[in-house]
Amino acid sequence: MLQFTATLFAAFVAVAAIYGLINWCQKASTGDKAAVMGLYLLWGMPGVLLLVAGLALVVNGKNEGVPVMGIGIGLSLPMLRPFRQLMSNVTNIDPDSPIDWSGLAIVLALLGFLIPTSFVNSAPDVVAQNSATTLTSGLLQNLLAYVLIAYVAVGYRNYRTGHESTLRLGIQMPTTLQMTTGLAGVFAAFVAAFVGGALTQWLQPDKITGIEKSIESILAGVTNPLVAIVLAISTGFGEEIFFRGALQPRLGIVLTSILFAFLHAQYGFTWILLGMFLIGLTFGWLAKNYGTMSAVIAHVVYNLLVVVLNVWIL
């Protein structure tokens, strides 16, 4: 219960921080010079300090130096308008929008940490096995956090109403076309996963045992079909609303898929990451062409089939 309360509190703190940041960015968008200068200080100052600190750590042979540098670079680059202009050519960001370049700074800083960390911690993570109750509770917390952050990220109660935010995220009753394309996307996702798995089996056979143990640990709490359904819906719906609904319309398919892949790096720095990236591209293509709910259906059904295959069939 204490862990649940702490996690829930942390999620609400994150939501409140994002809400405040977007409100700040809105003021900067109106030409408020103090707000604009404050954003440059907010991202630029820690960015430069972390870059210098990371360089010092690298010079002294510390592994954590590269991730620290990565965070610093990620925070600093969007402060340069030529870089924002360059990114606007490959994404949908507006180089003059404080909301867009603040979001870009956060995403690039996150990638600056995740990518080198994945190199250093290349072994698959084997997490502690959870009971069905603990797993279900954690999944529902993640679902709530993803959905809340997605709504706040698109301007809920700042410059969009609840209805407008829902439309912006693409949340609706799925149409027949979205259900059909989503189910077709499940096959493409399995092909992408097979590519990543096959390359890992071929080029990194020493990682296979660790990956299998990691999967077993993650799914240990799936003791009945209801938990499997909760897992599939909570991860599929929550992640798609956040990644494809909130982020992709601004960051584009490729950058969003890269972030999606490295946030699923629990299998270590293996070719599984390529499979996750290709899965992200698949869901991203569905969302772009048929709407967010098409990607949601594909992700939910894919997750459910993966769980069923690993827990009850294979």
Burial 296-309 (b: 16+ CB within 10 A, else e): bbbbbbbbbbbbee
Which has more pLDDT, 133 or 305? Answer: 305
Of the three residues 61, 88, 120, the one that is the final residue of a domain is 120
| 217 DSSP 8-state letter | H
Of the three residues 77, 99, 120, the one that is the final residue of a domain is 120
Q: Is the pTM of this model over 0.75?
A: yes
Report pLDDT for 176. 97
Regarding whether 98 and 66 lie in a shared domain, the answer is yes
* Cβ within 8 Å of residue 192, ≥6 positions away: 275, 278, 279, 281, 282
Total domains in the chain come to 2
For residue 93, is pLDDT > 60?
yes
Regarding whether 55 and 103 lie in a shared domain, the answer is yes
Domain that includes residue 296, residue range: 127-314
CA proximity to 188, closest of 73, 309, 298? 298
Q: What percent of the chain has pLDDT over 90?
A: 67
Regarding whether 179 and 54 lie in a shared domain, the answer is no
Q: For residue range 282-302, what is the model confidence (pLDDT) as tens digits?
A: 999 999 999 999 999 999 999
Contacts of 239-243 with C-beta under 8 Å, sequence gap 24+, read 239/146, 239/299, 240/283, 240/287, 240/292, 240/295, 240/296, 240/299, 241/146, 241/147, 241/150, 241/169, 241/170, 241/171, 241/292, 241/296, 242/146, 242/147, 242/149, 242/150, 242/153, 243/280, 243/283, 243/284
Of the three residues 105, 120, 135, the one that is the final residue of a domain is 120
Average pLDDT over residues 174-190: 97
Q: For residue range 118-156, what is the model confidence (pLDDT) as tens digits?
A: 877 665 665 556 677 888 888 888 899 999 999 999 999
Residue 4: pLDDT band by 50, 70, 90 thresholds? low
Residue 160 pairs with which residues in a beta bridge?
Answer: 156
Average pLDDT over residues 181-194: 97
Report pLDDT for 2. 57
Regarding whether 141 and 216 lie in a shared domain, the answer is yes
